[in-house]
Amino acid sequence: ILNVEQSPQSLHVQEGDSTNFTCSFPSSNFYALHWYRWETAKSPEALFVMTLNGDEKKKGRISATLNTKEGYSYLYIKGSQPEDSATYLCAPHDDKIIFGKGTRLHILP
């Protein structure tokens, strides 16, 4: 079972500000890392799948980086908007996909 840590647990950010948060995972036997966006009362929505050390992925104002040697990934949100309020989950995986507890992001107007 992969041990996944996400920090911070909760984050309040002023609208328009940029922010980032962390996913830490064991670096041995790494295969791939998923990032998901999860709104209340909805299903998780895939953001990125990352596999290579040094990978950088971008989707609009959201981007992510991956360091498999040291076992971490960062998710960045540029110019936060109210619709960015959600829980962001990361999940490293082999055949199993084990999720971290997530970072709950609140955007303040």
**Is 66 or 77 the residue whose CB approaches another protein more closely?**
66
10 class by beta-carbon count within 10 Å (0-12 exposed, 13-18 middle, 19+ buried):
exposed
> Based on CB atoms, which residue is closest to another protein, 77 or 90?
90
Q: CA 57: distance to chain centroid?
A: 11
Residue 31 binds another protein, judged by CB under 8 A = yes
Cα–Cα distance for residue pair 61/4, rounded to 1 Å? 25
Which position among 58, 59, 61, 101 is part of the footprint of another protein (CB under 8 A)? 101
Angle 52-79-46 (CA atoms, 0-180°, nearest 5)? 40
7 is a site residue for another protein (CB under 8 A): no
Span interacting with another protein, options 19-27, 60-68, 71-79, 91-99, rule CB under 8 A: 91-99
State in angstroms the smallest separation of the CB of 81 from another protein.
Answer: 23
